[in-house]
A and B are shown apart, each in its own frame.
Chain A
Amino acid sequence: MSSQLTPELERKLTTAVERMPAFPKSVQAILEMTRNVDCLPKDLVGVIEKDPVMTVKILRVINSAYYGLPNKITSVAQSVVYLGINTIKNLALSFAAVGILPRFSTTGFDIQKYLLHSLTVAFVARLLCEKFARGEADPMDCYIAGLLHDFGKVVFTQFLSIEFMKSLAIAVDFDKPLHIAEQETIGADHAYVGALLAKKWQFAEPLVECIRDHHNPAAAPSAMMDCLRMADMICRRQAFGDAGNPWREEELSQMPARFGGEIESVIAKVGDLEKILADAQSFAQIGTER
């Protein structure tokens, strides 16, 4: 879609992430773990890579022009190889010091349900890649695409709260997809803004494309995009978390061809969805509610 954002608003949103707090569970975990000088690097990575805000901030640092890396870095673990665990740890602490995202902002958007959605989509996208797109895409890249595909919504709820609140209401009242409502009230949807930021921060181009086009069925297909879209469908159909865009049964017609025609058979091949949900819930701090 074309954007009707003013240059001023684009600038505001691109600098906003500096002040964006991370999610409560990861902030708490980082503060606790880092009191122990012997905390395990893999445990730190395990926390950071489940938080979309911390992940975005780490990838932004490592892909900056300062390091001039020939290949884009697409995971937190890869970032540790380049920067070392102590620098990653101290970066995470500096992110934690910004504060924590409140569960509900003035928009009423539930940040914990959003995280549950993002995490389950990430987990499922990784599994789909391993089972349906082995050799065509990297499972970890699919995980990151799932984790960050709706990142624009956190930016909206934090920094364009009135307009985003209207979008959420329009989506419900008029039974519209949320991204259509965002285009009407904000002038650009979360996919556009998420991709705008990802591109500005020099993220890998396939990741930028996945974020930008995950609601655009006309976009050029790729294995990574297929896994992201399918994971998004599965998690919304199963009502894993909520990112303001309820499942519509007619979306089934947009299922990527590589998965066959039946969503149930794809779900059966993915494995134990309840375990995936439980793992994500334990991090998103949501109990049995969805």
Chain B
Amino acid sequence: MKVRLWGVRGSIAVPGPRTVRYGGNTTCIEVRGDDDALIVLDAGTGIFPLAQSLLAHLPVTAHIFITHTHWDHIQGLPFFIPIFIPGNTIRLYGAFDLIAQRGIEHVMQVQLQFSYFPIREAELKARIEYETLSVGVPVTVGEAAVTPVLMNHPVPDLGYRIECNGKSLFFTGDHEPHYNIYSPGEEGYDEYQAAIEQRQAELDAAIGAVDLLIVDSAYTSEEYPHKRGWGHGTFDSAIELAKRVGAKRLICTHHEPTRSDDDLERVFNEALARHPDFGCEILLAQEGLEITL
């Protein structure tokens, strides 16, 4: 498998000199199976430069897996140029929307409404297919299998485990480690704690000892108490997750949008210093970073 990062920023795109090294585009990850099948994880603004790179190799078949439907993970979808070109096939996968009671087709239809975009869904020239996923049920894409795992975010968020010929990766999408909503000693605390621990064990098992783990690490541990409940993890929680599951390599992503490249490296290095015995390679997500598994 080959992995290339096209968007690593959280929340909103932030181009400019302060983010030029790591990149300002929001989440988009290109994964190529051994048979070159194209899997795209999330359609943040990073999907636009990915789309440009695909135009030289038309027609394309793209399997786009949406972790969740917050703007920074879908905003590039109408600008994924292959959707306008006949002969291409775009298959969009994602979670069922519990509140709207609609499948993943809802995301495209909402974005292509008259008020927000000049082209209607019916006018797209590519073949557009939708598949609303069931948690834990793998989808086959060429030689790869993609399994959705329910993560923890203010909207249902699917992490994806991708396996191809013995190699594996997991991307959390946006994810905050579970925390107890009760205080110690309060009625309900013990029951909730037991449920959290069971859930964490289930998640760790679903992620497994992957070759590459890509994790939402938006905050530092110092920032986190003010952001609790916002649905994001920290550098330290990402490292602890990687340790627990035995990941071989860790990439920290979803960089906080106000964080400059210099600040990003500083807080990352501080986190590394707190985990000197960390037994695997750990990297900051960077636009253009390519990894072969």
Report which of A68, A82, A87 forms a contact with B155, defined as CB distance below 8 A: A87
Interface of B is mostly: loop
When the two chains form their complex, are residues A90 and B99 in contact, meaning their CB atoms are under 8 A apart?
yes
Given contacts A67-B135, A87-B155, A140-B191, contact A82 B150 (CB under 8 A): yes
When the two chains form their complex, are residues A87 and B156 in contact, meaning their CB atoms are under 8 A apart?
yes
- In angstroms, Cα B202 to Cα A82, docked, is 11
Residues of B within 8 A of A94 (CB): 99
Spot the interface stretch: B32-40, B41-49, B112-120, B181-189.
B181-189
Given contacts A42-B186, A87-B98, contact A80 B136 (CB under 8 A): no
- In angstroms, Cα B136 to Cα A66, docked, is 9
When the two chains form their complex, are residues B150 and A67 in contact, meaning their CB atoms are under 8 A apart?
yes
Give the shortest distance, in Å, between B183 (CB) and chain A (any CB): 9
Interface of A is mostly: helix
Q: Is A54 an interface residue (CB 8 A)?
A: no
26 A–B contacts, CB within 8 A, in A order:
A41-B229, A45-B181, A45-B188, A61-B98, A66-B96, A68-B134, A68-B136, A70-B202, A71-B198, A77-B181, A77-B188, A77-B192, A77-B195, A78-B191, A78-B195, A81-B196, A82-B150, A83-B98, A84-B152, A84-B155, A85-B154, A85-B181, A86-B154, A87-B156, A91-B98, A91-B99
Residues of chain B from 186 to 221 with CB closer than 8 A to chain A in the complex: 186, 188, 191-192, 195-196, 198-199, 202
Residues of B within 8 A of A45 (CB): 181, 188
Query: What is the interface size of chain B, counting residues whose CB is below 8 A from a CB of the partner?
Result: 27
Q: Is A40 an interface residue (CB 8 A)?
A: yes
- In angstroms, Cα B205 to Cα A27, docked, is 38
Q: Is A75 an interface residue (CB 8 A)?
A: yes
Residues of B within 8 A of A80 (CB): 181
- In angstroms, Cα B231 to Cα A77, docked, is 18
Residues of B within 8 A of A218 (CB): none
When the two chains form their complex, are residues A84 and B99 in contact, meaning their CB atoms are under 8 A apart?
no
- In angstroms, Cα B97 to Cα A94, docked, is 13
- In angstroms, Cα B198 to Cα A70, docked, is 11
- Tally A-B pairs: CB < 8 A: 66
Q: Is A65 an interface residue (CB 8 A)?
A: yes
When the two chains form their complex, are residues B181 and A42 in contact, meaning their CB atoms are under 8 A apart?
yes
Residues of A within 8 A of B134 (CB): 65-68
A68 and chain B: residue at smallest CB distance = B136
Residues of B within 8 A of A140 (CB): 191
Give the shortest distance, in Å, between B109 (CB) and chain A (any CB): 19
Give the shortest distance, in Å, between A36 (CB) and chain B (any CB): 13
- In angstroms, Cα B229 to Cα A67, docked, is 22
- In angstroms, Cα B191 to Cα A40, docked, is 18
Give the shortest distance, in Å, between A19 (CB) and chain B (any CB): 14
Give the shortest distance, in Å, between B68 (CB) and chain A (any CB): 11
Q: Is B273 an interface residue (CB 8 A)?
A: no
- In angstroms, Cα B188 to Cα A140, docked, is 9
Nearest 6 interchain pairs by C-beta = A86-B154, A41-B181, A68-B136, A81-B195, A78-B195, A42-B181
Residues of A within 8 A of B229 (CB): 41, 85-86
Q: Is B178 an interface residue (CB 8 A)?
A: yes
Give the shortest distance, in Å, between B116 (CB) and chain A (any CB): 22
- In angstroms, Cα B231 to Cα A67, docked, is 19
A78 and chain B: residue at smallest CB distance = B195
